[in-house]
Amino acid sequence: MDRSNLANLRALAPPKVQHKLHLFLDYTLGTVRDVPDPYDEGPEGFETVYNMLFEGCRSLIGRLEARS
């Protein structure tokens, strides 16, 4: 969900598929933005991350439905 996770995944992936890996919000919303770790932010941080993921998932579902 963040650039560190993305870099780790790309390092593990075969070269021919590395270009298929993206940040979640970049892929779903076209927003090059990390999903932050809410652990130290209290309930508000978790709510913020939940809303980011919910919006991204709604967008992804809409894109997938448009393909079928």
Q: How does pLDDT run across 16-63, given as a tens digit for each residue?
A: 999 999 999 999 999 999 999 999 999 999 999 999 999 999 999 999
The rounded distance, in Å, linking the Cα atoms of 66 and 52 is 21
Record the pTM: 0.82
Is residue 8 exposed (0-12), middle (13-18) or buried (19+ Cβ within 10 Å)? exposed
